Amino acid sequence: MTSTSAEFSALAPYGWDESWAEAFAPFEADGLLPGRVVRVDRGQCDVVTADGNVRADTEFVVPRDPMKVVCTGDWVAVDPGGDPRYVRAYLPRRTAFVRSTSSKRSEGQILAANVDHAVVAVSLAVELDLGRVERFLALAWESGAQPVVVLTKADLVPDPVTLAHLVQDVETSAPGVPVLTVSALHGDGLDVLVALVGSGTSVLLGQSGAGKSTLANALVGADVMDVQAARDVDGKGRHTTTTRNLLALPSGGVLIDTPGLRGVGLFDAETGVGQVFTEIEELAERCRFQDCAHESEPGCAVRSAVENGELPQRRLESYRKLLRENQWIVAKTDARARAELRREYRRKGAEGKAALEAKRGRWA
């Protein structure tokens, strides 16, 4: 069975296509309804379907694994009958943003799924923190989406030379990533962003107060998202946006607005980190030793690039810091996985022993 044309016309603005329909076919055969999650809060989600918006419980697809929790951007199979309705399954994700939840528990948390463009919003109202930009970009690359950096509130940097320098600094920290400047206040630079988010699904990421919801409203052309009242408190105070919201854009494309992230912990993002620091990884290929740590080894191409001013020292330090952090998370996750495995073995071992004793008992 294939997806109906009603489904196509209702869901196409949200990104439904032939290949999603194909992935959905087995669920269609079971009489389930396809839809995209536009918002999640506390075990429930809003799903846009051909029957309009439905609120559904996600209970059935949550086997206590935070990576398997339905999230905004997921394509899901909803039980059409029943009260409450249930999300029965989600389709395999094309991309997923994962961060580590906290430093104590090494768990991944899915921020958004099936995203094509990751728009990292960075406010020009506060001092540029390139390390933070790099961290966001590592997360973005790791997800499988193409990142773009948007420097917001460009109206606050009226001097074009200063603005150009800021853009250049970010570009140096973001190889392969377009860097745009926009002012939602004046509308400057919005056309470039409109073109970029006009296809596929984009997610707005960044600190609280960076101007993500202001951009979302500008792109939607209506005040659909609440915006922070005072504009001089970037990154501080209350988060204005508290849920992740998926919006269909009038000129095509889908946008997910997210709550500001104060800290983004990496979660198994080594590939992503590598993509943020491609120039360092390229230099490293020319180091004399293949496993060069770029510290005191002779013939280190990375250190000599720093010495001759080709590579900023800050970049190398940031690279090391993110790699270290990532290795630590991976080690911790592995340790946790190993501990779980040990528990499992012990449990199985105990079962096995009990079975053996029962058997012996029978023969005794």
Ligand X SMILES: Nc1nc2c(ncn2[C@@H]2O[C@H](COP(=O)(O)OP(=O)(O)OP(=O)(O)O)[C@@H](O)[C@H]2O)c(=O)[nH]1
**240 interacts with Mg ion by CB under 5 A:** yes
Ramachandran category for residue 236: left, alpha or beta (phi over 0 → left; psi -120 to 50 → alpha): beta
Q: Which does 210 bind (CB under 5 to 8 A by kind): Mg ion, Zn ion, ligand X, none?
A: ligand X
Residue 128 vs 330, nearer CB to ligand X:
128
- DSSP secondary structure string for all residues of 3-55: --HHHHHHHGGGT--HHHHHHHHHHHHTT-EEEEEEEEETTEEEEEETTEEEE
Token pair for 18: 């032939």
Is 128 strand, coil or helix?
A: coil
Q: Where does this chain touch Zn ion (CB under 5 A) — which range of 103-111, 158-166, 242-250, 298-306?
A: 298-306
- Quickly count: other Cβ atoms within 10 Å of residue 54's Cβ: 18
For Mg ion, the binding residue among 123, 143, 241, 275 (CB under 5 A) is 241
Q: Which does 184 bind (CB under 5 to 8 A by kind): Mg ion, ligand X, Zn ion, none?
A: ligand X
Residue 56 vs 112, nearer CB to Mg ion:
112
Q: Where does this chain touch ligand X (CB under 6 A) — which range of 11-19, 107-115, 151-159, 300-308?
A: 151-159
Is 157 strand, coil or helix?
A: coil
Supply angle C-alpha 26, 19, 55, rounded to 5.
Answer: 65
For Zn ion, the binding residue among 119, 193, 287, 311 (CB under 5 A) is 287
Residue 165 vs 286, nearer CB to Zn ion:
286
Residue, CB closest to ligand X: 260
**245 interacts with ligand X by CB under 6 A:** no
- DSSP secondary structure string for all residues of 60-116: GG-SS-GGGS--TT-EEEE-SSSSSEEEEEEPPPS-EEEEE--SSS--EEEEEES-S
Minimum CB distance to ligand X, residue 80 (Å): 34
Picking from 273, 312, 314, 280, the residue whose alpha carbon sits closest to that of residue 294 is 280
Q: Which does 152 bind (CB under 5 to 8 A by kind): ligand X, Zn ion, Mg ion, none?
A: ligand X
**Rounded-to-10 torsion of CA 28, 71, 138, 185:** 110
Burial class of residue 23 (count of CB atoms within 10 Å of its CB; 0-12, 13-18, 19+): middle
**300 interacts with Zn ion by CB under 5 A:** yes
**213 interacts with Mg ion by CB under 5 A:** yes
**245 interacts with Mg ion by CB under 5 A:** no
CA gap 122, 100 in Å, rounded: 21
255 has which bridge partners? Answer: 202, 247
Residue 60 vs 289, nearer CB to Zn ion:
289
**294 interacts with Zn ion by CB under 5 A:** yes
* Residues whose CB falls within 8 Å of the CB of residue 348, separated by 6 or more in sequence, listed in order: none
Q: Which does 231 bind (CB under 5 to 8 A by kind): Mg ion, Zn ion, ligand X, none?
A: ligand X
Minimum CB distance to Zn ion, residue 140 (Å): 26
Q: Where does this chain touch Mg ion (CB under 5 A) — which range of 18-26, 184-192, 206-214, 315-323?
A: 206-214
Judged by the rule CB under 5 A, the positions of this chain that interact with Zn ion are 287, 292, 294, 300, 302
Judged by the rule CB under 6 A, the positions of this chain that interact with ligand X are 152-153, 155-156, 183-185, 206, 208-214, 227-228, 230-231, 239-241, 259-260
Judged by the rule CB under 5 A, the positions of this chain that interact with Mg ion are 212-213, 240-241
